[in-house]
């Protein structure tokens, strides 16, 4: 195990790992609060895996998104020296496809709440032998509207169990959940000062019309090795990805209307540095740990200031250095004030030369980097209609029966009509399942009148 950790560049435990692993190994309930990127995942994974080796029963790790489920599974497999069986359950994949990856007794389940309930209802997994339950990114599960599913799962779990609750932020709603599911918990709160020291947080003051040129100017000046660019809605991600690509930037996008298979391929390509700029909704901010991300660009200010913490936590991880830029217009003044109040200081102001139609100056613009994913064409009039609370008018698209284009609903508002496809054995007979909720909820914010 130590050899595996050293290969990952881990020589000494972080503060959250040092404070949490002892009580977890002793079987105590625990509530852990620590910033993103401080090593929370290994803080619970290592003692749980050690307990499984000793025959302490099965562990369940609940997470808000598919991407985080895959991330935790990957982290667990990287230190899985005793060949423990890890079952990953999430929407967007067939039941059989996920089950066949595990042979024999399951030691650890990593799951999104809705999809796990589907598996339980179909009697594909049983909760009888669960000894430890982890609620990871608890604040995000509540923000995405999973309280009903969590309450249902809690009813089906054994009463005699160990419960761990981890979160980057701990507002009253999260505290209520944490204390409701734990018994006499040990509370661990970690404020990593060195994380702030390694992370430069800057703000770029611009206008709506000049925002794209401001972004491109900063990209040309900083020339990041790998960066994530956040936009507020799926529609804006589509628009930004297309416009940046036209200007010569090596970009790709992920959001809720990109299929799960394609999202996994895109994230894999990003991790291997084939993609330089990943443009995303907040789906990418929830738990993804991608080595090498040097910069975070908040093209749009998040709706909730706490989301800013999750976004910038994608860089400066595990002691590395990183830079973040927040692009604000005069209309964002109040949101900027809330963010600065949350982080406890003013963000550094960045000056730049305002130039129109800025193009990429640090890549071969003649090279075709990767196949683009086609979604609904951007229509600014449609976005304004959504903001005003009007139902957008969808223009008909020609259908190709041989190779249909991937469709987007335009806004997350209409995602709840998406149907789950049947797998080879007829599971999920074209009716919506709880498991499909994880895909929709990734962009829940885009459905709030955006």
Give the residue from 150, 142, 133 showing the smallest Cα distance to 175: 142
C-alpha–C-alpha distance, residues 418 and 413, integer Å: 11
Q: What percent of the chain has pLDDT over 70?
A: 76
Q: What percent of the chain has pLDDT over 90?
A: 50
Give the model's pLDDT for residue 384. 47
| CATH class of the 196-349 domain in this structure | alpha beta
Question: 22-45 pLDDT, tens per residue?
Answer: 999 999 999 999 877 778 899 999
Give the model's pLDDT for residue 432. 47
More confident residue, 163 or 419: 163
**pLDDT at residue 3 greater than cutoff 60:** yes
Structure tokens at 246: 């036209």
Cut 0.85: pTM above it: no
How far does Cα 47 stand from its chain's mean position?
Answer: 24
Give the model's pLDDT for residue 438. 52
**pLDDT at residue 169 greater than cutoff 50:** yes
CATH topology match: 2-190 vs 196-349: yes
Give the model's pLDDT for residue 285. 59
Lowest mean pLDDT among 116-130, 133-147, 328-342, 418-432: 418-432
Domain ranges of the chain: 2-190, 196-349
Can you list the positions of beta strands (E) in 90-233?
Answer: 108-111, 130-135, 162-167, 186-190, 199-205, 227-230
**Exposed, middle or buried by CB within 10 Å (0-12, 13-18, 19+), for 31?**
buried
Based on its alpha-carbon atoms, the radius of gyration of the chain, rounded to whole angstroms, reads 22
Confidence category of residue 92, pLDDT binned at 50, 70, 90: confident
Confidence category of residue 198, pLDDT binned at 50, 70, 90: confident
**pLDDT at residue 327 greater than cutoff 50:** yes
Give the model's pLDDT for residue 414. 35
CATH superfamily, domain 2-190, is P-loop containing nucleotide triphosphate hydrolases (3.40.50.300)
């Amino acid at each position: 195990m130590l050899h595996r950790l050293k290969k990952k560049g881990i020589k000494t435990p972080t503060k959250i790992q040092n404070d949490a692993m002892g009580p977890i190994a002793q079987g105590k309930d625990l509530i852990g609060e620590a910033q993103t990127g401080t090593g929370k995942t290994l803080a619970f994974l290592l003692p749980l895996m050690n307990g499984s080796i000793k025959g302490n029963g099965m562990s369940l790790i609940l997470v808000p998104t598919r991407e985080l489920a895959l991330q935790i599974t990957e982290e667990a497999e990287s230190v899985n020296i005793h060949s423990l069986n890890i079952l990953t359950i999430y929407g967007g994949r067939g039941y059989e496809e996920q089950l066949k990856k595990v042979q024999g007794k399951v030691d650890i389940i990593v799951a999104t709440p809705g999809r796990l309930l589907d598996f339980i209802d179909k009697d594909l997994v049983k909760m009888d032998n669960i000894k430890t339950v982890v609620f990871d990114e608890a604040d995000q599960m509540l923000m995405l509207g999973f309280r009903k599913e969590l309450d249902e799962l809690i009813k089906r779990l054994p009463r005699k169990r160990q419960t761990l609750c981890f979160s980057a932020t701990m507002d009253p709603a999260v505290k209520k959940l944490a204390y409701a599911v734990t018994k006499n918990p040990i509370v661990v709160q970690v404020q990593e000062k060195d994380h702030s020291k390694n992370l430069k947080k800057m703000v770029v003051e611009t206008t709506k019309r000049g925002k794209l040129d401001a972004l491109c100017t900063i990209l040309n000046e900083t020339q990041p090795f790998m960066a994530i660019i956040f936009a507020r809605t799926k529609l804006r991600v589509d628009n930004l990805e297309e416009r940046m690509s036209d200007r010569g930037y090596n970009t790709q996008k992920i959001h809720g209307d990109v299929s799960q298979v394609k999202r996994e391929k895109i994230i894999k390509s990003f991790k291997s540095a084939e993609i330089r700029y990943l443009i995303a909704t907040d789906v990418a901010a929830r738990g993804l740990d991608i080595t090498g991300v040097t910069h975070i660009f908040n093209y749009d200010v998040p709706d909730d200031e706490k989301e800013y913490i999750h976004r910038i936590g994608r860089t400066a991880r595990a002691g590395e250095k990183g830079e973040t830029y927040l692009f604000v217009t005069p209309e964002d003044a109040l949101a900027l004030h809330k963010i600065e109040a949350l982080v406890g200081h003013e963000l550094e102001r960045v000056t730049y030369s305002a130039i129109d139609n800025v193009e990429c100056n640090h890549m071969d613009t003649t090279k075709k980097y990767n196949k683009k994913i086609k979604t609904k064409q951007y229509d600014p009039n449609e976005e304004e209609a959504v903001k005003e609370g009007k139902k957008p008018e969808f223009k008909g698209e020609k259908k190709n029966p041989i190779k249909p284009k991937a469709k987007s609903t335009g806004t997350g508002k209409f995602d709840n009509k998406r149907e789950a496809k049947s797998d080879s054995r007829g599971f999920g007979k074209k009716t919506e399942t709880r498991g499909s909720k994880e895909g929709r909820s990734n962009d829940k914010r885009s459905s709030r009148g955006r």
